[in-house]
Amino acid sequence: MRWRWLYSLWGMLLCIAIGSGIVPSALAAQRTTNAGLIRTSATQILPGQAIGDIVVVGHNLTIAGIADHVLVINGDVTLLPTSRVDMVVDLGGVVHTSPGAKVYTVFHASLTDPFWSGALVTGLGALAVWGGLLAVSIVLTLLLTVIAAALRETIRVPLAEMQRSVRRVGLTGLFVSVGAVAFCALLAATLVGIPFAVLCFFLYAVAAIIGLAVVAVWIGYMVMTDPVQRPVWVVALVGVSLLVAFCNIPFVGLLLFCIAWVVGVGVTTHWLWMLWSMRKGRRRPTNMDK
* 216-250 residue pLDDT tens: 999 998 888 887 788 888 888 999 999 988 888 88
User: Which DSSP category does 227 fall into?
Assistant: G
Confidence of residue 259 (pLDDT cuts 50, 70, 90): very high
User: Which DSSP category does 76 fall into?
Assistant: -
Residues with Cβ < 8 Å from 168, sequence gap 6 or more? 266
Q: Is the pLDDT of residue 185 over 60?
A: yes
Record the pTM. Answer: 0.58
Confidence of residue 267 (pLDDT cuts 50, 70, 90): very high
Average pLDDT taken over every residue of the chain: 81
Q: How far apart are the first and last CA of the chain?
A: 89
pLDDT confidence of residue 152: 80
| Mean pLDDT computed over 107-117 | 68
pLDDT confidence of residue 3: 47
Q: Is 141 left (phi over 0), alpha (psi -120 to 50) or beta?
A: alpha
Q: Is 178 left (phi over 0), alpha (psi -120 to 50) or beta?
A: alpha
